[in-house]
């Protein structure tokens, strides 16, 4: 028996090594796929090893869970379009929190007579897991634009209510941990669960849509911390390691994204874009200058350098393959083409990188914001496809703008700017963009995919 446990623990150690190596490989676009596969292999080995532990005596429910979960997961994966990927990631974070919540409750029901420290761990797992679940549901609703508006939802005394809720949860946790075997212990833990569910809603509902990429990353970290806590409950070392890795990486990514937005995590959590306007924003002045595809073609055909800024609108129209074809046509014409990637473009971390990789666009053509901005004055044409907030010059010029201080891709400095949009609608942050009214800006209205195809046809018609 001990030999079996030793062997299984060795598998756990090797799985933990694959997780760490997988995370390292996922730090670079060129090796991210290998890192994902390596981590998946390690997790599969860990699951098999766990099922071989002597304590596992009934496999019926486990097999049923695996089968049902696999079917649901496959349906989600195949039916979710690229535009729905952020919502799906948000839901998966919530499912992770729910799993940890159920583990905590199952352990309490099965073994109510436990020491205080174990009660504290169960309470902590319930708290983090429930907040992750309800917060993720709100994030999903905001991203899906159902039930809850994308803009911040505020009410008087909001922070006071959240603090009181947290105090009540803390008090309930102490009461629960001191005597888990008390007749009222289940009711106390149930009340903590309900209050934590409300707290998760109240923590995410005041955050604006433009902050959703950061929120998704933060909730991912929460799900990892919940898994880590549940690992302590069932004394599973690999679950502790895996949860800690996910929690730490999520926090690191959140901090990186906040730095890219020139904001603190507290600023994001306590008030999203549009939550607190310091004053009246500057009035937008200028005149819209529409351009037709044949006119835009003449501008692009004469350009030596073109920078393309992708945004959520590119994902909505599923135009990633069309933009690659246009890129190839411009390069054949002798134009240098690069893609400027903002850290929070789209609605989840790395959204644009994944979208362009799907179209087999070389990673070498993708340039980060800090690298592209110093060269923007030399760019002949900056083509913006479905992006809005990440190119809004108000972030640099208007101290009263909700976007003030957020680093942007400085597209307005290019010699000519071509903005591809369906309409003059505002971005996800709900802020007017003065870039559209600049003298060097031309607006190409219409579906991004159709507009790109029209430009491609112009290049083909000219023989380029």
Single residue among 219, 244, 276 that ends a domain in this structure: 276
Question: Tens digit of pLDDT for each residue in 147-190?
Answer: 777 777 777 877 788 889 989 999 998 988 888 878 888 899 99
63 belongs to a structural domain: yes
| Residue 307 sits in the same domain as residue 198 | no
The parent domain of residue 125 ranges over 80-276
| Residue 146 sits in the same domain as residue 228 | yes
Question: Tens digit of pLDDT for each residue in 120-129?
Answer: 999 999 999 9
| Residue 449 sits in the same domain as residue 426 | yes
Q: At what angle are helices 185-204 and 85-110 packed, to 10 degrees?
A: 170
Instruction: Return the SS3 of 338.
Output: strand
Closest CA to 309 of 343, 359, 285: 343
- CA distances, 76 to each of 60, 93, 196 (Å): 24, 14, 27
Residue 273: per-residue pLDDT: 47
| Residue 334 sits in the same domain as residue 404 | yes
Single residue among 59, 77, 95 that ends a domain in this structure: 77
Indicate the number of domains in the chain: 3
Single residue among 217, 249, 276 that ends a domain in this structure: 276
Indicate the range of 203-217, 364-378, 429-443 predicted with least confidence.
203-217
Q: Rounded to whole angstroms, how far apart are CA atoms 464 and 461?
A: 8
| Residue 184 sits in the same domain as residue 308 | no
Q: How far is CA 175 from the centre of its chain?
A: 36
Side by side, which strands form the sheet with 416-421? 366-368, 336-341, 305-310, 381-385, 416-421, 441-445
Question: Tens digit of pLDDT for each residue in 369-424?
Answer: 889 999 999 999 999 998 888 888 888 887 777 777 788 899 999 999 999 987 76
Residue 91: per-residue pLDDT: 86
| Residue 240 sits in the same domain as residue 107 | yes
Residue 279: per-residue pLDDT: 47
| Residue 132 sits in the same domain as residue 223 | yes
282 belongs to a structural domain: no
* Contact between 152 and 256 (Cβ < 8 Å): no
Closest CA to 418 of 320, 336, 309: 309
Instruction: Return the SS3 of 366.
Output: strand
246 belongs to a structural domain: yes
Question: Tens digit of pLDDT for each residue in 26-77?
Answer: 877 778 888 889 998 998 888 888 887 777 767 888 888 889 988 988 888 8
Q: Rounded to whole angstroms, how far apart are CA atoms 217 and 102?
A: 23
287 belongs to a structural domain: no
27 belongs to a structural domain: yes
171 belongs to a structural domain: yes
423 belongs to a structural domain: yes
369 belongs to a structural domain: yes
Whether the full predicted model's pTM is greater than 0.75, yes or no, is yes
Residues that are catalytic: 389
Q: Rounded to whole angstroms, how far apart are CA atoms 282 and 86?
A: 32
| Residue 304 sits in the same domain as residue 453 | yes
Residue 286: per-residue pLDDT: 66
Domain holding 326: CATH number?
A: 3.40.50.1220
| Residue 402 sits in the same domain as residue 326 | yes
């Amino acid at each position: 028996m001990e030999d079996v446990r030793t062997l299984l623990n060795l598998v756990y150690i090797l799985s933990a090594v694959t997780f760490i190596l997988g995370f390292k490989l996922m730090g670079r676009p060129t090796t991210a796929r290998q890192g994902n596969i390596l981590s998946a292999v390690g997790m599969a080995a860990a699951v098999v090893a766990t099922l071989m532990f002597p304590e596992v005596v009934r496999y019926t429910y486990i097999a049923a869970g695996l089968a049902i979960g696999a079917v649901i997961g496959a349906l989600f994966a195949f039916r979710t379009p690229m535009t729905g990927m952020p919502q799906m990631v948000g839901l998966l974070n919530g499912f992770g929190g729910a799993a940890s919540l159920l583990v905590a409750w199952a352990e309490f029901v099965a073994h109510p007579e436990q020491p205080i420290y174990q009660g504290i761990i169960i309470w902590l797992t319930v708290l983090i897991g429930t907040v992750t679940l309800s917060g993720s549901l709100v994030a999903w609703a905001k991203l899906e634009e159902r039930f809850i508006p994308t803009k911040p939802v505020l009410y008087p005394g909001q922070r006071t209510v959240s603090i009181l809720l947290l105090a009540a949860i803390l008090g309930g946790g102490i009461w629960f941990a001191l005597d888990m075997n008390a007749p009222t212990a289940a009711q106390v833990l149930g009340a903590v669960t309900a209050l934590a569910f409300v707290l998760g809603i109240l923590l995410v509902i005041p955050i604006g849509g433009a902050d959703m990429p950061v929120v998704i990353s933060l909730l991912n970290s929460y799900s990892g911390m919940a898994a880590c806590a549940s690992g302590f409950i069932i004394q599973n070392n690999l679950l502790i390691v895996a949860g800690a890795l996910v929690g730490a990486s999520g926090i690191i990514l959140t901090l990186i994204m906040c730095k890219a937005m020139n904001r603190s995590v507290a600023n994001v959590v306590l008030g999203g874009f549009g939550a607190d306007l310091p004053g009246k924003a500057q009035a937008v002045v200028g005149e819209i200058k529409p351009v037709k595809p044949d006119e835009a073609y003449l501008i692009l055909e004469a350009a030596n350098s073109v920078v393309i800024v992708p945004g959520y609108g590119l994902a909505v129209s599923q135009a990633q393959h069309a933009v690659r074809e246009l890129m190839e046509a411009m390069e054949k014409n002798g134009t240098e083409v690069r893609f400027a990637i903002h850290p929070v473009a789209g609605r989840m971390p790395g959204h644009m990188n994944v979208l362009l990789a799907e179209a087999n666009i070389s990673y070498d053509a993708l340039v980060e914001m800090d690298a592209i901005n110093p060269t923007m004055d030399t760019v002949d044409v900056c083509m913006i496809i479905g992006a809005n907030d990440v190119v809004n010059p108000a972030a640099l010029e208007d101290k009263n703008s909700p976007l003030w201080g957020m680093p942007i891709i400085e597209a307005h400095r290019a010699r000519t700017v071509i903005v591809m949009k369906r309409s003059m609608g505002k971005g996800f942050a709900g802020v007017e963009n003065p870039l559209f009214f600049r003298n060097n800006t031309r607006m190409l209205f219409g579906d991004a995919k159709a507009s790109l195809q029209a430009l491609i046809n112009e290049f083909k018609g000219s023989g380029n």
